[in-house]
Amino acid sequence: MDTTQLPIDLLSWTLALLPIVVLVVLLVVLRWTAPQAAAVGMFTAALVSFLVFRTPMDALAVAGAKGVWDAIFILAVVWPALLLYQVVNHAGGYDALRQGIARFSRNEVFVVIALGWVFTSFVQGIDGFGTPIVVVAPILVAFGMRPVYAVAIPIIAHIWAKLFGTLGVGWLATLQVVSLADPTKAAFASAGLIVIQVVFGGFTVVWMYGRWPAVRHAWPVILIISAIQGGGQMIVALYHPALAAFIPATVALVALYPLSRWRRFAEPAQGITVRPAMRDDRVELAEDTQPPMGLIMAFLPYILLTVIALGVLTIKPIDAALERLTLALPFPQVTTGYGVQNAATTGYSPLAPFTHPGAFLVLAAGITWIVYGARGYFAKWAARNEETPVGILRGTLADAVPASVPIIGFLMMAKLMDHSGQNQVLALGISAVAPAYAFAFMSNGIGALGAFMTSSSTSSNVLFAPLQQTLAHLNGLSETTIIAAQSAGGAIGNAIAPANVVLGASTAGISGREGDIIRKALPWTIIAIILTGLATVAMVVLG
Amino acid sequence: MLERLNNRLTYLGISLLLLLVALPLISIGATRGIPLLWRVGLVAFIVGGLIPPVQRLLSRTSSPA
- Chain B contact for A401, CB < 8 A? yes
Q: Residue A509 — left, alpha, or beta (φ > 0 → left; ψ -120 to 50 → alpha)?
A: left
Does the structure show a pLDDT above 70 at A287? no
What's the full length of chain A, in residues? 543
Does the structure show a pLDDT above 80 at B1? no
- Chain B contact for A398, CB < 8 A? yes
- pLDDT tens for each residue of B7-60: 888 999 999 999 999 999 999 999 999 999 999 999 999 999 999 999 888 887
Chain B interface with A: residues with Cβ < 8 Å: 8-9, 12-13, 15-16, 19-20, 22-24, 26-27, 30-31, 38-39, 41-42, 45, 49-53, 55-56
- Most A CBs within 10 A among B5, B7, B18, B26, hence the mutation to make, goes to B26
How large is the ipTM?
A: 0.92
CB spacing of A43 vs B49 below 8 angstroms: yes
- pLDDT tens for each residue of A44-76: 999 999 999 999 999 999 999 999 998 898 888
Task: Identify which has the larger pLDDT, A313 or A304.
Answer: A304
CA atoms within 13 A on the CB side of A82: 27
Residue A398: list chain B partners with CB under 8 A. 9
- For the range A284-287, what are the long-range contacts, defined as Cβ-Cβ under 8 Å and sequence gap of 24 or more? A285/A99, A285/A102, A285/A103
Task: Identify which has the larger pLDDT, A465 or A223.
Answer: A223
Residues 6+ apart with CB under 8 A from A498: A23, A27, A34, A37, A38, A406, A410, A452, A455, A514, A518
- What is the mean predicted confidence (pLDDT) over A211-238? 96
Residue A334: list chain B partners with CB under 8 A. 30
> What is the identity of the amino acid at A97?
L
Strand partners, A335: A341
Which regions of chain B does DSSP assign to beta strands (E)? none
Does the structure show a pLDDT above 60 at A389? no
List A residues 412-441 in contact with B (Cβ-Cβ < 8 A).
412
Contact A64, A348 (CB under 8 A): no
pTM: 0.83
Strand partners, A341: A335
CA distance A295 to A286: 16
Q: What is the DSSP letter of A325?
A: -
Chain A closest-CA separation from residue B4 CA (Å): 15
CA distance A295 to A95: 10
CA distance A64 to A179: 29
